[in-house]
A and B are shown apart, each in its own frame.
Chain A
Amino acid sequence: MVGGGIAGIQASLDLAESGYLVYLVESSPAIGGTMPMLDKTFPTNDCSMCILSPKLVECGRHLNIKTYTCADVVDIQGEAGNFTVTIRQRPRYVHVDKCKGCGECAEACPIDVPSEFDQGIGEHKAIYKPYAQAFPNAYVINKEHCIECGACEEACQAGAIDHSMEEEIIELNVGAVVLCPGFQKFDPSQLTYYGYGKFPNVLTSLEFERILSASGPFQGHLVRPYDNKEPRRIAWIQCVGSRNCRIDHGYCSSVCCMYAIKEAVIAKEHSKEPLETTIFYMDMRTYGKGFEKYYNRAKDELGVRFIRSRVYDITEVGDESKNLRIRYAEEDGTIREEEFDLVVLSVGLEPSPEIAELCQKVGLEVNKYGFAEPAPLTGVGTNKPGIFIAGAFSAPKDIPETVMQASAAAGASASLLAEARNTLVKEKEFPPEKDFSGEPPRIGVFVCHCGVNIGSVVNVPEVVEMARNLPNVVYAGEYLYACSQDSQASMKQIIEEYGLNRVVVASCSPRTHKPLFQETVREAGLNRALFEMANIRDQCSWVHMHEPDRATEKAKDLVKMVVAKAALLEPVSQIVAGVTKAALVIGGGVTGMTSALSLADLGYRVHLVEKEQQLGGVARRIRQGLKGEEVQPFLNDLVNKVLSHSNIEVHLGAEVQTTAGYVGNFVTTLTNGKELQHGVTIIATGGEEYKPAEYLYGESERVFTQLELEEALDKGDPRIENGKTFVLIQCVGSREPERPYCSRVCCGKSVKLALKLKEKNPSASVFVLYRDIRTYGFLEDYYQEARRKGVIFIRYTPENKPRVENENGALKVTVTDHVLGVPVVISADVIGLAAAIVPSSSNRKLSQLFKVPLNEDGFFLEAHMKLRPVDFTSEGIFMAGLAHGPKNLEENIAQAKAAAGRASTVLGKDHLESHGMVAVVQQDKCAACLTCVRLCPYNAPRIRNYAAEIEPLLCQGCGTCAGECPNKAITLQGYKDHMQMSMSKALFEEV
């Protein structure tokens, strides 16, 4: 895995969970990539760090993911199934295995360095950790600035610092490579008219992101770095370094429209005073799932101002405020000027030069912009078999698409290496658990100094003394670092010696260290759930640094409370269930077939169910892909592969009738009476083309939908052959009140059709009537080409739509020209309507059968818009393709592979285990009131035999049902009410 951003993390986790050993190579000192720098993410405004950090922890701790940081891949030799990868690992000057991440070194370090993570706005020391949640949780020395004063070495009580470390060359033998190095942001200083680098109040969007972030240099207070004043007027300028042919950045960066809107919305939220926000843009490209709604809300409800314009330049107003004046031309050519306190440049995405070097060395083809576009209709493939791509390096893209492609690359790699599955992975072995049932609690309390982090504030010996006298405590001791190797060994010994059956560690934070200590007690034969932690560093010594006495009191209280809880802890056994190694794929279109094939290649049995009598879905009507790929030969080949694959059973003319069970163990019956056992389900029901009611569709035989026009064009229909004037109307049935989403593919498709019409007859007049041209990514090139070749683009507004009239058999289109502001009348021979993509009619029924949600538009709703784009909240059920939302063929293929990749993390296991702490029902107390059944977002509870039953494999352990159960029949393991009550009791009781 080349690159440790969200793509690398997701692909690594998917592969490691599917039975493969993964090497994750990251060039910076920590994994995470760009995502940790972002404040919130669109369109849900989720906190970026919050949603990412569980993945960081999971990836960091995974036994079968080996991470190399400060490391660059310098060469890849060999072939698919057998590559030799050469890595150059730069010295960190800190031993990752010894560093506890306590930060004493940075406290001692005298040198301040601008923080790269904060985009140079804030500072950190020459020895630093990029960000609080970073994995590895270890510091690194920036040697360029280090003066080798030795202060850090002196401060480090763990002996982790080593100034003599040297560069290492590492060779790895791997079967597949996924390139996911991400992107770098465009440097806007080369566009001198924006004044970036010259005017202090012109910032890049990523700098602004850090200003907004609560963990950023201003703790989330929205101020200008220049004078720390709160801005009142902020402008965003779009397409900085994108859609700009003059600097060879002709492509659209795809994400900037959305992030600018998000930044404007969040800035308004952060600002105490009313804040004016203005976005200067060319086309508003909010084409993704949920994006259009976000845009409309920003515009109509939150007061973000959108100005369709061309910006000429930015100048300073010339006084102390250093405010800025933007000069711009409106659509009709009027030139205006406006003053702002702050200007944010929405900079585009570009590939980094380092990866270009690697590609050249390896012979990997990149496009003219340096991006490695996937090989046609593969979603993730390259010209080099065995090397896959994912993320923004394949094309500018947002987080969900990056995650999707990462899962797809994982799926493709897994299929390629199917034979090697489970040959290199390790599993941790533990001694059998001791049985303490019936024995009184014997608690050991281990209090950590954390170097000087705790010990210099909290009086640790006093805490230990107090702990020793608490009820049920039979041992209490203090440790310099409870997490060090030797402390761990001594902990195991003490557990043995004192016959401990509950362990409490008072130290840093369960966030980083609970799993480690749980593993230690497990090695000593204790169940994981018999461990509990008191947080006396992050929640005590660090935050009450100047009140040692009160901090000590608090530390004692925290230990008292946790000891009281520990006495009530019970062992929790993981529930284990087998896995039916088969998949049900619903929908026999390109998406469903691709998913089926990926899983079948991995060796799993696949049932492919298609309601029609033949495979192919809507792709049967598509001639060419958006990049000119011939679809029919591809489709035929795909159908043949599916039909001839020994692992795939195709059920034509059938639909799902009933389904039951849960992840790993589903039973589904089809309308043809067959009963299928399967471990996972992929819903790939596809979509349909909207049948327009507007623009004389159905009344004139010369009004076509896009798909019909494509077919007619292909067949040489005389209506097309003899046509001289063509009018293509966009957004027919999309971005309308009854269907408020953007159908995403139609702009690209219309541009392609326009080019095709021009190609056939260069003298033909082709008009495209649009609202915003949304040719995101490299599709922008086709838009440019179409304009160059004389296709006329006229923008219309939803208030003033084109009118189509039939005048004695002649089609007359009237549209108001956006530049001239006057109506233009076009006599059209043929009209093409970019009809919306609408959800499949079977979605609703499947949503009820599988108890999975649909969104307001009738497409399936994923578990998480950002990080779980193909998963449902109900485990073991996945979605792909148009069932999820409108997208093009290439994207559907990537998503199909992603769903297969995700599904294989389930099918790859022989047993599934419950997620640690789950909710359990005491059935004799249950009144079968349905509260839990109605509340649970994961469909874990159901009523059986007149009482609730919670499926442990589905329960995620949130405890919402336990909190609400009216007869207290449900409790959450490890967090029972009486445990919390005993903590509060202990707190207020005198010892």
Chain B
Amino acid sequence: MIIAQQKPIKDIAAMIEDCKKVLLVGCAGCVTVCLSGGEKETEVLASSLRIMRRLQGNPLETVTITATRQCDPEYIEPLENLVKDVDAIISLACGVGVQYLAERFHDKWVVPAQNTMFVGGSRTHGVWEERCGLCGDCILHRTGGICPIIRCSKSILNGPCGGSQYGKCEISKDVDCAWQLIYDRMKALGKLDKLMEIQPPKDWSKSRDGGPRKAIREDVMIG
């Protein structure tokens, strides 16, 4: 899922300081699961902003709603009625949601409440870890299910580098050396020989190097 964390409240307040009435839109997708933008967080944020503004003698009106997802037009379409009389929209979704809202309601001031961090999973409740670099050309089958692109600090394809010590990466003793992990796992699987194959330089054109990406599936397109 996409992992996001809420911005400092002061920063959010500053984005809407000229507004009298705002719409806060939560998202029941990834950001609910990573506990930063579901209905609860949306209402907590609304209440906090109201209190803050009331203390400043400049009361703020809020409207809150949580969309099933903000990354599909159908789910944000019904917001139209709510959007009409607000001065701004605060999105608690990832960057995708903010942009979809901004595109759909192009005459409104749409601001993000979150910093979209990475694509990851939850190691344990309250701890999320980055796991995918979104490179567009997966090589996990070659590396024992451990991604060197995102988990190696240097993203090297033929590791480890000289900075690997006692299984840790030289940048921090809290960071495992991905290549040590890959080596250990491949060894356990009896596939060390696969690691002897030298990986050619990666084709980064499938990643961000090729500019903004788009995925198109003719077979499922409607109409």
Residues of A within 8 A of B (CB): 925, 927-931, 934-935, 965-968
A925 and B125 contact, Cβ closer than 8 Å, known pairs A966-B40, A968-B40: no
A966 and B41 contact, Cβ closer than 8 Å, known pairs A931-B125, A934-B125: yes
Say how far B92's CB is from chain A's closest CB, in angstroms.
11
CB-defined contacts of A934 to chain B, threshold 8 Å:
125
* Interface presence of B95 (CB below 8 A): no
Say how far A967's CB is from chain B's closest CB, in angstroms.
4
Identify which of A928, A930, A968 contacts B39 (C-beta below 8 A): A968
Contact A929 B35 (CB under 8 A): yes
Which of A927, A928, A934 has the most chain B CB within a 10 Å cutoff? A927
**Measured CA separation A930–B123 after assembly (Å):** 12
In the complex, given contacts A927-B38, A929-B32, A968-B39, what are 4 additional A-B residue pairs having Cβ atoms less than 8 angstroms apart?
A925-B28, A929-B35, A966-B38, A967-B32
Contact B35 A966 (CB under 8 A): yes
CB-defined contacts of B26 to chain A, threshold 8 Å:
967
Some 27 contacts from A to B, beta carbons below 8 A apart, are A925-B28, A927-B28, A927-B29, A927-B32, A927-B33, A928-B33, A929-B32, A929-B35, A929-B38, A930-B122, A930-B125, A931-B35, A934-B125, A965-B40, A966-B35, A966-B38, A966-B39, A966-B40, A966-B41, A967-B26, A967-B28, A967-B32, A967-B38, A967-B40, A967-B66, A968-B39, A968-B43
**Measured CA separation A931–B39 after assembly (Å):** 14
Q: Which A-B residue pairs are the 4 nearest by beta carbons? A: A966-B38, A967-B38, A929-B33, A927-B32
CB-defined contacts of B125 to chain A, threshold 8 Å:
930-931, 934-935
Say how far B38's CB is from chain A's closest CB, in angstroms.
4
CB-defined contacts of B122 to chain A, threshold 8 Å:
930
**Measured CA separation A934–B38 after assembly (Å):** 18
CB-defined contacts of A935 to chain B, threshold 8 Å:
125
**Measured CA separation A930–B121 after assembly (Å):** 12
Say how far B36's CB is from chain A's closest CB, in angstroms.
8
Which of A928, A930, A935, A968 has the most chain B CB within a 10 Å cutoff? A968
CB-defined contacts of A931 to chain B, threshold 8 Å:
35, 125
CB-defined contacts of A966 to chain B, threshold 8 Å:
32-33, 35, 38-41
CB-defined contacts of A968 to chain B, threshold 8 Å:
38-40, 43
**Measured CA separation A930–B35 after assembly (Å):** 11
Say how far A738's CB is from chain B's closest CB, in angstroms.
25
CB-defined contacts of B43 to chain A, threshold 8 Å:
968
**Closest residue of B by beta carbon distance from A968:** B39
Say how far A54's CB is from chain B's closest CB, in angstroms.
29
Say how far B110's CB is from chain A's closest CB, in angstroms.
22
User: Which residues in chain B, 18-76, are within 8 Å of chain A measured between CB atoms?
Assistant: 26, 28-29, 32-33, 35, 38-41, 43, 66
**Measured CA separation A915–B206 after assembly (Å):** 57
CB-defined contacts of A930 to chain B, threshold 8 Å:
33, 122, 125
Say how far A926's CB is from chain B's closest CB, in angstroms.
9
**Measured CA separation A929–B38 after assembly (Å):** 11
**Closest residue of A by beta carbon distance from B122:** A930
**Measured CA separation A930–B39 after assembly (Å):** 16
**Measured CA separation A968–B26 after assembly (Å):** 12
**Measured CA separation A934–B66 after assembly (Å):** 24
CB-defined contacts of A929 to chain B, threshold 8 Å:
32-33, 35, 38
CB-defined contacts of B39 to chain A, threshold 8 Å:
925, 966-968
Say how far A919's CB is from chain B's closest CB, in angstroms.
15
CB-defined contacts of A965 to chain B, threshold 8 Å:
40
Say how far B41's CB is from chain A's closest CB, in angstroms.
7
**Measured CA separation A820–B125 after assembly (Å):** 57
**Measured CA separation A930–B28 after assembly (Å):** 14
Q: Mark B160-200, 1 if CB is under 8 A from A, else 0.
A: 00000000000000000000000000000000000000000
**Measured CA separation A930–B125 after assembly (Å):** 9
Say how far B128's CB is from chain A's closest CB, in angstroms.
12
Say how far A932's CB is from chain B's closest CB, in angstroms.
11
**Closest residue of B by beta carbon distance from A969:** B39
**Measured CA separation A934–B123 after assembly (Å):** 12
**Measured CA separation A967–B35 after assembly (Å):** 9
Say how far A927's CB is from chain B's closest CB, in angstroms.
4
**Measured CA separation A935–B41 after assembly (Å):** 18
**Measured CA separation A928–B32 after assembly (Å):** 9
**Closest residue of B by beta carbon distance from A927:** B32
**Closest residue of B by beta carbon distance from A935:** B125
**Measured CA separation A1–B29 after assembly (Å):** 58
**Measured CA separation A931–B41 after assembly (Å):** 14
**Measured CA separation A929–B39 after assembly (Å):** 13
Say how far A590's CB is from chain B's closest CB, in angstroms.
40
**Measured CA separation A965–B43 after assembly (Å):** 13
CB-defined contacts of A928 to chain B, threshold 8 Å:
33
**Measured CA separation A967–B40 after assembly (Å):** 5
**Measured CA separation A968–B44 after assembly (Å):** 12
Say how far B221's CB is from chain A's closest CB, in angstroms.
26
**Measured CA separation A965–B66 after assembly (Å):** 14
**Closest residue of A by beta carbon distance from B36:** A966
User: Which residues in chain B, 120-169, are within 8 Å of chain A measured between CB atoms?
Assistant: 122, 125
Q: Mark B93-126, 1 if CB is under 8 A from A, else 0.
A: 0000000000000000000000000000010010
**Closest residue of A by beta carbon distance from B32:** A927
CB-defined contacts of A925 to chain B, threshold 8 Å:
28, 39
**Measured CA separation A927–B33 after assembly (Å):** 6
**Measured CA separation A931–B38 after assembly (Å):** 13
Say how far A935's CB is from chain B's closest CB, in angstroms.
8
**Measured CA separation A934–B33 after assembly (Å):** 13
Say how far A743's CB is from chain B's closest CB, in angstroms.
33
CB-defined contacts of A967 to chain B, threshold 8 Å:
26, 28, 32, 38-40, 66
**Measured CA separation A928–B33 after assembly (Å):** 7
**Measured CA separation A844–B60 after assembly (Å):** 55
**Closest residue of A by beta carbon distance from B124:** A934
Say how far A978's CB is from chain B's closest CB, in angstroms.
11
Which of B32, B43, B125 has the most chain A CB within a 10 Å cutoff? B32
CB-defined contacts of B38 to chain A, threshold 8 Å:
927, 929, 966-968
**Measured CA separation A620–B28 after assembly (Å):** 59
**Measured CA separation A267–B66 after assembly (Å):** 52
**Measured CA separation A54–B116 after assembly (Å):** 48
**Measured CA separation A957–B180 after assembly (Å):** 47
Say how far B190's CB is from chain A's closest CB, in angstroms.
27
Say how far B192's CB is from chain A's closest CB, in angstroms.
31
**Closest residue of A by beta carbon distance from B31:** A966
Say how far A550's CB is from chain B's closest CB, in angstroms.
28
Say how far B116's CB is from chain A's closest CB, in angstroms.
17
**Measured CA separation A194–B33 after assembly (Å):** 65
**Measured CA separation A659–B26 after assembly (Å):** 38
**Measured CA separation A928–B28 after assembly (Å):** 10
Say how far B37's CB is from chain A's closest CB, in angstroms.
8
Say how far B204's CB is from chain A's closest CB, in angstroms.
34
**Measured CA separation A839–B33 after assembly (Å):** 38
**Measured CA separation A925–B29 after assembly (Å):** 10
Say how far B187's CB is from chain A's closest CB, in angstroms.
26
**Measured CA separation A966–B26 after assembly (Å):** 11
**Measured CA separation A931–B33 after assembly (Å):** 8
**Measured CA separation A967–B38 after assembly (Å):** 5
**Closest residue of B by beta carbon distance from A966:** B38
**Closest residue of A by beta carbon distance from B30:** A927
Say how far B178's CB is from chain A's closest CB, in angstroms.
27
